[in-house]
Amino acid sequence: MINESRLINNFMAMVQIPSISGREGKMRDYLRDSLQERGLQVQEDEAGVKLQGEAGNLWVRIPASMEAETILFAAHMDTVEPGEGIKAIIEDEIIKSQGNTILGSDDKAAIAAILEALDVIRENRLPHGPLELLFTVGEEQGLQGAKQFDFTSLNATMAYVLDAGGDPGVIVIQSPCQNEIEYKVYGKPAHAGINPEKGINAIQAAARALSKMPCGRIDKETTCNLGIIQGGTARNIVADYCHIKGEARSLSRSRLDQITQTLKNTFIEEVQKQGARAEVEVKFLYPEIRLNPEDRVVKTATQAIKDIGLQPRLESTGGGSDASIIQGQGIPCVNLGIGMSNVHSCDEYIKISHLIKDTEIVLAIINEVIKAK
């Protein structure tokens, strides 16, 4: 039923359209036209305007041919760099770039699979429940597009993001929530040789505070990091300012809150002991996903993957995705492995067999949902 050459050609056409985050305009046009050619009504939201990018999120509601639960499939339109002038080539059943750019299978393999699934459904008049599609912008820039989307526009009660590493069959059911944490120290400048005793060294105050703080793996579910440190103005001036950028993640919201509080309190207290002043800013980036094998969204994917002859693999990941945002909006959501490899590098590639499996998974999930009816 799957038209392999159509799937491959559409995928190759899409990866060759540059769509680096914020500059998704051409990809938006292609995708909107593709969906409209299939007789669908496409909506674009205001995310492009709000994020000062070229395009907003696209979303589509596909009327059902029979009564069933509404499900959402989501993928992102943007890519990382270097993503200009991509030329996709096929070699040994693999699609890759020429080696000077990324490929963009992250996440256009997902979009290609979803579009092919729509064609298969239409051509074969396959029964299906109500479907919703969401194609986001700015995912690679901190899930920006998904964060702007108004989820009250959707009716879906289960969602599938097709954007996980790992082969088709992987179902990511756990991912952490994350805080970005910025630490600032204000000291007092003085000449380092003439009157250092009149200064308060912000770098040293920061160093003493940081040495008292946990860093790295905290427990099985929780990690934190100090990633960037900057400060001072000149070698011969007592540093009056220093700032540090860090983060904390956990599969558990209460553990995230706890570790964040510990980091914040320790930093402020220790800096104050040095006579300097500290400020700590915490920004919540995205919520956790913590699903169980018994949850319906997981069970449906598990059964769908078995139906097409693959072994389901339930996994946990250390990063966020659009699935985090969708789940956070109250729609149970998993992220599915689509077989993209070496993403975010010029060695990125995808097996043609995986593109086909991705399409089969979409079709099998749609089929599982109507079977449940």
**Of 107, 116, 132, 139, catalytic:** 139
Q: Which helix (H) or strand (E) holds 368?
A: helix 352-371
Is 78 noted as a catalytic residue in this protein? yes
Closest to Zn ion by CB, 106 vs 360, is: 106
Closest to Zn ion by CB, 140 vs 270, is: 140
Provide the CB-side half-sphere exposure for 9 (13 A, CA). 5
Largest Cα span, the chain: 85
Segment 149-178, which members bind Zn ion (CB under 5 A)? 163
Closest to Zn ion by CB, 102 vs 213, is: 102
CA distances from 343 to 70, 122, 167, 185, 263 (A): 31, 32, 13, 37, 33
Q: How many residues bind Zn ion (CB under 5 A)?
A: 3
CB of residue 79 vs Zn ion: minimum separation in angstroms?
8
Q: Rounded distance, CA 11 to CA 160, Å?
A: 20
CB of residue 317 vs Zn ion: minimum separation in angstroms?
12
Find the part of the chain contacting Zn ion (CB under 5 A) among 80-88, 104-112, 241-249, 270-278: 104-112
**Number of neighbours of residue 230 by Cβ within 10 angstroms:** 10
Closest to Zn ion by CB, 338 vs 369, is: 338
Q: Rounded distance, CA 287 to CA 289, Å?
A: 7
Q: Rounded distance, CA 28 to CA 136, Å?
A: 10
For residue 107, state whether it binds Zn ion (rule: CB under 5 A): yes
Nearest to 12 by CA among 163, 115, 166: 115
Find the part of the chain contacting Zn ion (CB under 5 A) among 39-47, 60-68, 106-114, 195-203: 106-114
Nearest to 327 by CA among 287, 282, 278: 287
CB of residue 329 vs Zn ion: minimum separation in angstroms?
19
Nearest to 137 by CA among 25, 215, 232: 25
Q: Rounded distance, CA 324 to CA 257, Å?
A: 17
Closest to Zn ion by CB, 246 vs 320, is: 320
Segment 197-226, which members bind Zn ion (CB under 5 A)? none
**Number of neighbours of residue 308 by Cβ within 10 angstroms:** 17
Closest to Zn ion by CB, 106 vs 348, is: 106
CB 37 within 8 A of CB 60: no
Q: Rounded distance, CA 186 to CA 203, Å?
A: 9
CB of residue 164 vs Zn ion: minimum separation in angstroms?
8
For residue 106, state whether it binds Zn ion (rule: CB under 5 A): yes
For residue 78, state whether it binds Zn ion (rule: CB under 5 A): no
CB of residue 16 vs Zn ion: minimum separation in angstroms?
18
End-to-end CA distance of the chain: 24
Is 163 noted as a catalytic residue in this protein? no
Question: What 3-state DSSP class applies to 273?
Answer: helix
CB of residue 323 vs Zn ion: minimum separation in angstroms?
11
Residue 177 CA, distance from chain mean position: 12
Find the part of the chain contacting Zn ion (CB under 5 A) among 102-110, 154-162, 237-245, 292-300: 102-110
CB of residue 179 vs Zn ion: minimum separation in angstroms?
22
Closest to Zn ion by CB, 261 vs 345, is: 345
Question: What 3-state DSSP class applies to 145?
Answer: helix
**Of 24, 45, 78, 358, catalytic:** 78
Give me the active site residues, please: 78, 139
Chain residues in the site for Zn ion (CB under 5 A): 106-107, 163
